């Protein structure tokens, strides 16, 4: 890995149900989350809203991390 790894979460703003909220994600997760939204031709806030609606009782940041991981696993198993 040629890129320097920074594992510190950074706050990012999202709009869910018309309200601004912040989520703290590590840069690698944020970049991959944005890439997935772009690949789907979907606004980031719309994808975050889908994850938010399906997350149950876990935090939004954790739900996004799990979503990103599952997307990568699905991609790798093809």
Residue 3 domain flag: no
Residues 38 and 62: their CA atoms lie apart, in Å, by: 21
Residue 69 domain flag: yes
Residue 25 domain flag: yes
Residues 53 and 27: their CA atoms lie apart, in Å, by: 23
pTM comes to 0.88
- Asked if residue 51 has pLDDT above 90, the reply is yes
Domain span holding position 62: 10-76
Domain count, the chain: 1
For residue range 11-50, list pLDDT tens digits in order: 999 999 899 999 999 999 999 999 999 999 999 999 999 9
Residue 32 domain flag: yes
């Amino acid at each position: 890995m040629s890129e320097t790894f920074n594992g510190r979460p950074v706050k990012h703003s999202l709009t869910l149900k018309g309200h601004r909220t912040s989520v703290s994600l590590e840069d690698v997760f944020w970049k991959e989350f944005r890439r997935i939204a772009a690949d789907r031709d979907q606004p980031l806030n719309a994808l975050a809203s889908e994850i938010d609606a399906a997350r149950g009782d876990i935090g939004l940041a954790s739900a996004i991390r799990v979503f990103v991981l599952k997307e990568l696993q699905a991609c790798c198993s093809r």
